[in-house]
Amino acid sequence: MKLDSDKHNQTPIAVSVLVVDDEPGMCSFLNKALKKKFALVETAGSIEEAEELRKRCHFDLLIVDIKLPGRSGMEWSEAMEQTKRSSDIIFMTAFADLETVIKALRAGASDFILKPFRLEQMMNAVERCLERRAMARTNFVLQRDVEKAFPITNMMGNSPSIRQVQEVIHRVAPTPSAVMIEGESGTGKELAARMLHQFSNRNGAFVPINCGAISPELLEAELFGHTKGSFTGALKAREGLFSFANGGTLFLDEVGEMPLLMQAKLLRALEEKAVRPVGSEQEISIDVRIIAATNRQLKDEVASGRFREDLYYRLNVLSITLPPLRDRREDIPELIHHFSNTLSLELGLAAIPFSHDDLNEMQHYHWPGNIRELKNLIERCILLGKLPAEYFREQNDNNSKTAGNFAGWTMDAVEKQHILLTLEQHNSNKSSAARALGVSRKTLDRKLTSWATEEQVATEYETAI
């Protein structure tokens, strides 16, 4: 963004600037010069006065003297870094050494100017800051253009159940209402969420998070952000996913896995439309559309006390249930053709030619892993160069040998085989497999850990002898 020095061009640029200096003469000098270029220029003689102005108005650029009565400009900048600061800052001082410059840059300074300075020096520093801001906006726009050039395609299939889902998505996408997407693992819940965002015309980003994949201790910081030193390992302040999704959509996948304490904090954030980073006393306003997804029956979770009823109704303004693949078998040929073409291009290998036997085998299969399992099967067939029907026959033979004949097996061996087969059917999703087995996730983890330890001990013993 080039600052035009032509006197005939007096149209102010839509930029807000705050000058903080305890010298009235410096404030007056910069105020007079900057008002010729910018739409809003304010001055303050202390950090306290500057904070009051910042509470009332956002400033794109802060020009701050380091040495101020009471609180220094550098301390103020460091405090702002603890929260969410979207302003550039230029420090100015009459007393500077290399250590001061380094501290200023670490405190988040965009530029550093020594007093006394010429007006041209200050305007050049301002110009560099504005150019960086313009470049950041350009990169954001380019990223959005790329997303539009490669949009999320509609859900594949023309079965009545999937067409109904498509119609609901197109109808509710432009609204700000929260949506709950339900369905088994692998049915395409994130794809449905991305479609809702794409057709919503919201300007912000689509930000997904798997609530079951993050430890309960870190989930709050991941969603709301945190300040520097707020917990062990928080070496610097960090924005949360709510802030990244501001103006866009936050997708809470596997929301049923969220701990009860975190559910209460999420409910408050949704009700107040504001989040408070961990370790901070300041709230940040948010404009986020919430889409949640779960493969659990949340009504049952509410009844059992594992999920808050008030949060359930806050998230479940509208429910979309995705059908399992076995209930939309007529869509399987179209899905096979789509995955075969796209995956062969990605892998650089020839697509698999499908015969009538292939389609027949695949349409009569139960598909416990749904669309994800179908896609994985197509990819394996392309990699191995095997027809799907041939692969199915081999799998059926192997399963009949291992799962159907347990003569001579110990009870522990049968249990291990059953658990491993269930894990494979659920594409190694431990939470989903644990629910299918009727055990807790901790029980499943304990079993897997014990088997891994046994195998390690056996390997070490064989190596030793």
The three-state DSSP-derived secondary structure of 154-217 is CCCCCCHHHHHHHHHHHHHCCCCCCEEEECCCCCCHHHHHHHHHHCCCCCCCEEEEECCCCCHH
* The pLDDT of residue 97: 66
| Cα distances (Å, whole numbers) of residue 22 to 29, 120, 305, 316 | 13, 22, 58, 54
Q: What pLDDT, on a 0 to 100 scale, did the predictor assign at position 197?
A: 93
Q: What is the pLDDT of residue 437?
A: 77
Contact assessment for residue 267 and residue 316, using Cβ atoms and an 8 Å cutoff: no
The whole-model pTM stands at 0.58
Distance of alpha carbon 290 from alpha carbon 441, whole angstroms: 27
**450: which 2 tokens?**
């014990």
- Measured N-to-C along each axis, helices 430-437 and 411-425 cross at an angle, to the nearest 10 degrees, of 130
Taking only the tens of pLDDT, the chain with its 465 residues reads 445 544 444 566 778 899 999 999 999 999 999 988 888 899 999 888 888 888 777 788 889 888 888 777 777 776 665 454 567 888 888 876 666 667 666 666 778 888 888 999 999 989 888 887 777 665 555 555 555 444 455 688 889 999 999 999 999 999 999 999 999 988 999 999 999 999 998 888 899 999 988 877 789 999 998 888 887 777 777 888 998 898 999 999 999 999 999 999 999 999 999 998 988 888 888 899 999 999 888 999 999 999 999 999 999 999 999 999 999 999 998 998 889 888 988 888 888 787 777 788 788 888 888 999 899 888 888 888 877 766 666 665 555 554 445 555 666 776 787 788 888 777 777 877 877 777 777 778 888 887 776 665 445 444 444
Per-residue CA distances from 50 to 55, 56, 62, 77 (Å): 9, 10, 10, 12
What pLDDT is recorded for position 31?
92
DSSP letter at 255 equals: G
Sheet holding 318-321, edge to edge: 206-210, 249-253, 289-294, 179-182, 318-321
CB 374 within 8 A of CB 354: no
The H-or-E segment that residue 463 falls in is helix 441-464
What distance in Å separates the CA atoms of residue 230 and residue 216, rounded to the nearest whole number? 16
Classified as helix, coil or strand, 292 is strand
Measure the CA–CA gap between 328 and 272, rounded to whole angstroms.
41
Q: Give the integer Cα–Cα distance in Å for 3 and 359.
A: 65
* Edge-to-edge strand list for the sheet holding 61-65: 38-44, 13-20, 61-65, 88-93, 111-114
- Residue 331, SS3? helix
pLDDT at res. 303:
93
